[in-house]
Structure 1
Amino acid sequence: MPSLHYRTIFLNFLKLGCLAFGGPAAHLVFFHQTFVKQLNWLDDQQYAQLVALAQILPGPTSSQVGLAIGYMKKGYWGALLAWLGFTLPSALLMTMVALLGEQFFPLLSSAFFHSIQLIVLAVVTWAFWQMLHSFCTQIWQYILMLCSTLFICTVSLPMNQIIVIFIAALLGIFFARKNTATKQNKAENSFLTEAISSTKRSNAYLWFIVFILPFFIFPVLNWLHIGVFAQIFESFYRTASLVFGGGHIMLPFLHQDFVATGLISAEKFDLGYAFAQLMPGPLFSFASYIGALMPLTAFPVLNAAIATLAIFIPSFLLVFGSLPYWSWLMNRAYIRHAVVGINAAVVGLLLSMVIQMAQHYIVQLTDLLFVAVVIALLKTRLPVWLSLIGSFLGHQLVLSFL
C-alpha cells in the first residue's frame, strides 16, 4: 500500500466536516462508511476498538475517534490534520454567527429570542430523554440521576458539578461491579497496541501528566487574579475534561461558567447553541461561538481560535496517552464502572438544565405545546436542521397572528 499523504487525511476529514450532520452517532456512521468501507484504512474490529476506547474517555466521542484514526495512520501530525479538517467548517461557521450576531443582535425582537429559547429547551429535553434510556438501566442509576439533579438545583457551589461527577464515579465503582451487564471480555492484543512504537508506549504517561497539570495551574492563576484569560481558558478545558456522553452535556457546564457569571447573556448563549444544532461536524464548536464573544484579546477571530483549542486540547492529550494502553484500560473493570456512574449523573445534570430552562422560558400553555411539537419533529426521520428551521418559522408565523 502506498504511503498515505498528510493532505489526504486532511481532505477526507474536511469533507466529513462539511457534510457530517446529525450529531456524534451519525458522525460515527459516516466515519465507518468512509474509513472502513470505502478507504479500507481500518477493518470493522479495529474501528470498533477505537470507538470503545473513545467512549470511556471524557470529551467529544466522534472527534476523538477521528483524531485517533489520524494518529494511527500518520502519528501526531495525522491526528492534528484529522481534527482540523473535521472541526474547521463548523468552527468557522460558528465564529461567523458570533460576529454577525454582534452586529444584528440589537435588531432582533424579543419574540425571535423567545422562539430560539423554546427550541433550545426542546433540543435539550430530547437529548435528556435519549440519554436517559441509554445511560439509566438500573434502579440505582435512576436514583443517582435524580439525586444529581436535586443537588445541582438546590446547592449553589462553584464546583457543584465537579462534586457530582466525582461522587458518581465512586458510586459507579461500588454499584456497577455487581452488575454483570457491565462486564466485558478481556481485550485482546490489537493493532492499537502493536501499531504504536515502543518509544511512544514508554512515553505515553507523559500525556496524562500534561492533561492533569492544568487542574492545578489554573486555580492558582485564578486565585492570583491573573486575568479573565485564565478563567475562560480553564472553563473550556475543564468542561471538555469532565464531559461524558456527548456534546449536549457540556451545556450545563458552560452555562454555569459564562451565563451565570454574566460573561455572556442568556439570549446570546441560547442563540449560539441553537445555531450549533444546525452545523455539520462536532457540537463542541459551540466553543468557537462563545470564544468570539469573550474579551480574551482585541481580535474576536483569535478569541474563537483560542476557545476552540482550549476545549479540544484534552481530547488530544487523552487519546495520545491512552491509545498505547488500550488493552490495559479496557481490561480495568473499575474504569468502566466509574463511567457507568458518571453517565447516570450527567443525565441528572442535563435534567437540571431542562428544569431551569423550563422555569424561565415557559410562560404560557402555547409555549409548552410548541416545545412538544419540536420534540415530536426531532423524533421523526426529518433532518435536524429542517425540523428546527421549520419549527422556528412556524412559531414566528403563529406569533404574528396573535
Structure 2
Amino acid sequence: MNTAKLTNYHIFITFLKLGCIGFGGPAAHLVLFHNILIKKMRWLDEAQYYQILALAQILPGPTSSQVGISIGYLKNGYLGAFCAWLGFTLPSALLMASSALFGQYIFNTLNNIFFHVIQLIVLSVVVWAFWQMLTTLCHQFWQYILLIFSAVFIYTVPMAMNQFIVIFIAALVGGFLAKEQHQKEIFLKDSEAKLTAIKNSKAYIWLFIFIMPFFCFPLFNHFSPSVLIQSVEGFYQSASLVFGGGHVILPLLHQEFVSTGLISNDKFDLGYALVQFVPGPLFSFSSYLGALLPLTSSVTLNIIIASFIIFVPSFFLVFGTLPYWSWLMRQKIIYKSLQGINAAVVGLLLCLIYQMSEKYIIQSTDIIFVIILIFLLKMKFPVWLVLLSTFFTYYFYLNHYIM
C-alpha cells in the first residue's frame, strides 16, 4: 500500500479524472475506484477498501460518493474528503447545470411529443432500477408485504413526512422480523484488518450535527419561510433518506420540488433523463435543479448551494461513523433494520412507477416502447446509446405516424 501523504491537489486531480470517465452508475464507479485507486495507485489495501464499501452500504446517501469521501478523509483529513468529493462531482455538476441553463432558451420550442417520449424514458429507467433493486434487496416474504404496504401508504396518504414515516416503520419491522445475515464474503476479506481511520474520539459530534437540521428546518420555515430554506431542507432531507441506490432520490425530490410547484414536471423529467448521460454521481441532478430554482438572485450561487447541500449529509455521516467502523460492523440490528428499509425504498419506486404510468402511458405503443427500452437496458448496451437511439426512433414514429 502507498503510505506516502498525498497533497489535496493530487487528490482533487485524481478524482476529477475519475469524475470525467465514471459512466455507468454506482456499481461501475466502485469498480473504477478499485481498479485505479487500489490496484494501480495503491492508496489503500484491498481489505481497507472493502471495509469502507461495507460501511457505505449501510449509510443513507450516494454509495460511490461516500466511498470517495471516505478515501479522501483517510488520506488527508477533512480537506482531503472535500477535494475528493469536489473532483468526482464537478464534471457532472457542470454538465447538468449547463444543460439547465441552455435548456431555458429552447424549452418553450419543444413540442408535447418530445416531452412525452422523455417521460416514457424516465419511466423505463425507473422500472429497470426497481427490478434490479427488487431482485437484489428483497428475498423474504415479509419484505414483499412491507414493500406493498409502503407503496400503498405513500400513494394513499399524501402528507409531507409520509416517506420518512415509511422508512422509520420499515426499520423497526426489519429489526424484529429480519433474519440475521452474514456480510458478504467480499466485505469480510481479511477480517482482522483495521481501517487506518483518523482517530477522533469526538466523531459522534458529526452525527449530532447530521440530526439537528431535521429539527431546525421546520422552525426556520415556521418563523421565516422562504424558497431558499424550503429548498435546502428538501435537498438535505431527501439525501438523508436515500437507501439502496441513487434512483430512490427521484420520488423524494419530486415530492419536494414538483409537488410543491417549484419546478414543472416536464423540466424535472427532462433533467432526470439527461443525468443518465453524464459521468459521475446521479446526485448531480441537484445541479440541474439548482439552476432552475429561485433560491437567490444569483443563478451561479443557486447551483453551488443545490450541488453541495445534497451531499452534506454524506460528509456528516462519513465523519461521524468511519472512526467507529469496527463497532458498527458488529451491530446485527443495523443489518436487520436495513433489510426492512430496503423493502420500503423499493416500495417507494413501485408507487412512483404506478403514479408515472397513470400520467405517461397514453396508448398501447407507449407500453411496447417501455418494454423494448427495458429489454435493451438489460442487455447492457451503453446507456447513452440505448436512450438516444430509442428516443429518436419513437419520437420520429410519433411525429410521422401517430400525432
- Distance in 1 between residues matched to 2:167 and 2:239, nearest whole Å: 13
Of 53-62 and 218-227, more deviation after overlay is shown by 218-227
Match of 2:229 in 1: 230
Whole-angstrom distance in 2 between the partners of 1:27 and 1:184: 19
Report how far residue 190 of structure 1 moved. Answer: 4.0
1:292-307 to structure 2, matched below 5 A, reads: 292-307=291-306
User: Which residue of structure 2 aligns with residue 358 of structure 1?
Assistant: 357
Structure-1 separation of matches of 2:262 and 2:7: 43
Q: Which residue identity lines up with residue 235 of structure 1 in the other structure? A: G
Identity %: 58
Per-residue CA deviation, residues 202-245 of structure 1 (Å, 9 max, x unaligned), is: 11011011111101100111122431111100000001111101
- Please say if 1:16 is aligned against 2:18: yes
AA of the residue aligned to 2:240: S
Unaligned runs of 5+ residues in structure 1 are none
Would you say the 8 A contact 2:113–2:399 is kept in 1?
no
Partner of 1:191: 194
How far did 1:381 drift? Answer: 2.4
1:137 aligns to what SS in structure 2? coil
Please list the CA deviations of residues 148-177 of structure 1 after superposition, one character each: whole Å capped at 9, or x if unmatched: 00111111111111110100000010011x
**Cα distance in 2 for residues equivalent to 1:16 and 1:240:** 22
Partner of 2:288: 289
**Residues in 1 aligned to 2:297 and 2:194: alpha-carbon distance in whole angstroms:** 46
TM-score, normalised on structure 1? 0.96
Do 1:148 and 1:164's aligned partners in 2 also have CA atoms closer than 8 Å?
yes
Name the residue aligned to 1:205: 204
> Which letter does structure 1 place at the counterpart of 2:124?
A
- Counterpart position of 2:28: 26
Q: CA RMSD in A?
A: 1.5
Q: Aligned with 2:310: secondary structure?
A: helix
Residue 329 in 1 paired to residue 328 in 2?
Answer: yes
The verdict on how the C-alpha distance between 1:183 and 1:376 changes in structure 2, with shifts beyond 3 A counting, is closer
Name the counterpart of 1:58: 60
Q: Is the alpha carbon distance of 1:183 and 1:392 closer, same or farther for their aligned partners in structure 2, counting shifts above 3 Å? A: closer
Post-superposition shift, 1:38?
0.6
Q: 1:381 aligned to 2:366?
A: no
* Structure 1 counterpart of 2:107, one-letter code: F
Amino acid at match of 1:112: F
- Give the Cα separation in 1 of the matches to 2:214 and 2:27: 30
Please state how far the C-alpha of 1:2 moved relative to its aligned partner: 4.0
Distance 1:51 1:377 in 2: 29
Partners of 2:180 and 2:336 within 8 A in 1:
no
Pairing 1:213-292 to 2, within 5 Å after superposition: 213-292=212-291
Matches of 1:182 and 1:148, distance apart in 2: 26
Deviation string, structure 1 residues 109-132 (Cα, Å, up to 9, x no partner): 111101100000000000000000
Q: Is the 8 A contact 2:138 2:144 kept in 1?
A: yes
- Counterpart in 2 of 1:170? 172
Tell me the distance in 2 between the aligned counterparts of 1:183 and 1:399: 49
CA distance in 2, matches of 1:184, 1:126: 24
1:100 aligned partner: 102
Out of 29, 37, 40, which is 1:38 matched to? 40
> How many equivalent pairs are there?
396
What is the one-letter code of the residue matched to 1:98?
A: A
2:337 corresponds in structure 1 to: 338
Alignment pair present for 1:129 and 2:131: yes
In 1, distance between residues paired with 2:251 and 2:340?
18
Whole-angstrom distance in 1 between the partners of 2:213 and 2:197 = 30
TM-score (norm 2): 0.96
User: What is the alpha-carbon distance in structure 1 between the residues aligned to residue 116 and residue 289 of structure 2?
Assistant: 20
